[in-house]
Amino acid sequence: MNLSTPSSAAAPRLSVRHLSTAFPTEEGLVRSVADVSFAIQPGKTTALVGESGSGKSVTSLTLMRLLPRTANAQVTGEATFITREGQSVDLLRIDEPAMRRLRGNQLSMIFQEPMTSLNPVFTIGDQIAESVRLHKGLDRRAALAHALRMLDLVEIPAAAQRLHEYPHQLSGGMRQRVMIALAMACDPTLLIADEPTTALDVTIQAQILMLMRRLQAETGMSILFITHNLGVVAHHADDVVVLYAGRVVEQAPVRPLFAQPRHPYTQGLLACLPGKARAPGQPRPKRLFAIRGQVSSPLAPPPGCAFEPRCDLALPACREAMPPLIDVTDTPGAPRQARCIRVEGTALQEAA
């Protein structure tokens, strides 16, 4: 595996600009992702956070070009990926054969539920070996040997035995390790992890997160970590992008965001955390907070700020127009943005 660590001064591994994904339905156009922009630096972890329905998984599936064809998704924007060879490609524009050469090779994904992502009729070894044979050109024997090394790498006990077992024979934690081994088999430069620990107990969750951190340190890969667990984000992310109703409402380095969230939605999410899960130095709340109401329907969004119906700090002007994304950087080298009319700063140019 490649053990070189990229320079912090390098160009972003992935630059997403004005990404929008909409689905036509009989009731109207569902805008699941609307004008989302962010960047992931080499060797760093960017967390994409928000409630269910905020557009996190649709963003990842759009970037991986894995949206079902029957959905007839309308995708616009750019997603510039820097390959291992230093080439710049737009993941949304390259043809399907070129995307297949990247997907599972330089660009990998850990899906949310391993039991539905692994094929039940093939052994664990064959599923890992298939990717290696396709992208590295190894024969079956060499590919299975590589699969065994990957199972050892992700610390699966009795790896030689597990190599010939089927997904239903493994525990949830083992299946998740297999998913990581499958994603890491071809030494990707960018790993997308879509809530990889949601269905696991806290002990196994901690082991999986430590494993991902170790593999990142060894390979220098970038990670897009999709989660709703801000306790995990506080300890494992470098930068945070907060989504609400398909739009970025705040993004910042993890420490400034936890220390001083600028958007009311981010403030509400952090207030919902139990005391022990809060960032170091933050006071423990006396009563657990809950954001009132629910996310508005993507078929009938409010005319102004999408969070206005649930916001305790809303002003009449919040109902009139969608607030722009404001540059609120207060520390050199630590860019911050927030989408709220209460925030002072410089409005950023956005797509119409």
Which pLDDT score is estimated for 280? 53
Residue 263: Cβ within 10 Å count:
29
Cα separations in angstroms, 81 against 63, 190, 258: 10, 9, 29
Identify the band that residue 285 occupies on the pLDDT scale cut at 50, 70 and 90.
low
9 vs 171, higher pLDDT: 171
Which tens digit of pLDDT belongs to each residue from 112-142?
A: 777 778 999 999 999 999 999 999 999 999 9
Strands (E), the chain: 14-24, 29-40, 45-49, 74-82, 88-90, 107-110, 190-194, 222-227, 239-244, 247-253, 326-327, 337-338, 346-347
Which tens digit of pLDDT belongs to each residue from 15-59?
A: 999 999 999 999 889 999 999 999 999 999 999 999 888 999 999
Alpha-carbon 312 to chain mean position = 29
Does 98 have pLDDT greater than 80? yes
Give, as one character, the DSSP assignment of residue 202. H
* DSSP SS3 for 1: coil
The closest alpha carbon to 152, from 201, 186, 116, 185, belongs to 185
Distance CA 183, CA 64 (A): 13
Distance CA 142, CA 204 (A): 31
Domain boundaries, given as residue ranges, for the chain: 14-106+186-347, 114-185
346 vs 252, higher pLDDT: 252
Which pLDDT score is estimated for 211? 85
The answer for residues whose C-beta is within 8 angstroms of residue 335's C-beta and 6 or more apart is 252, 327, 329
CATH superfamily of the 14-106+186-347 domain = P-loop containing nucleotide triphosphate hydrolases (3.40.50.300)
Distance CA 248, CA 54 (A): 10
Give the mean pLDDT of 208-224.
89
Percent of the residues in the chain that have a pLDDT greater than 90, as a whole number:
57
What tokens does 243 get? 């989504």
- What is the per-residue DSSP string for 149-170? HHHHHTT-TTHHHHTTS-GGGS
What tokens does 78 get? 């750019």
Taken as a whole, the chain contains a residue count of 352
What tokens does 215 get? 């593999």
Identify the band that residue 346 occupies on the pLDDT scale cut at 50, 70 and 90.
low
* DSSP SS3 for 103: strand
Sole residue written with tokens 């109902």: 319
CA angle 71, 116, 186 (to 5 degrees): 90
The answer for residues whose C-beta is within 8 angstroms of residue 61's C-beta and 6 or more apart is 67
What tokens does 148 get? 């065994």
Which pLDDT score is estimated for 253? 95
Which pLDDT score is estimated for 3? 35
Which pLDDT score is estimated for 106? 94
Which pLDDT score is estimated for 275? 62
Does 326 have pLDDT greater than 60? yes
* DSSP SS3 for 32: strand
Which pLDDT score is estimated for 302? 82
Which pLDDT score is estimated for 193? 92
Which tens digit of pLDDT belongs to each residue from 67-93?
A: 999 999 999 999 999 999 999 999 999
Distance CA 113, CA 15 (A): 27
Burial (CB count within 10 angstroms: exposed 0-12, middle 13-18, buried 19+), residue 280: exposed
Question: CA dihedral in degrees (216, 222, 226, 232; nearest 10)?
Answer: 40
Identify the band that residue 282 occupies on the pLDDT scale cut at 50, 70 and 90.
low
> pTM of the prediction?
0.87
203 vs 87, higher pLDDT: 87
- Give all strands of the β-sheet with 88-90 in edge-to-edge order: 29-40, 14-24, 74-82, 88-90
Percent of the residues in the chain that have a pLDDT greater than 70, as a whole number:
91
Residue type, 9: A
* DSSP SS3 for 141: helix
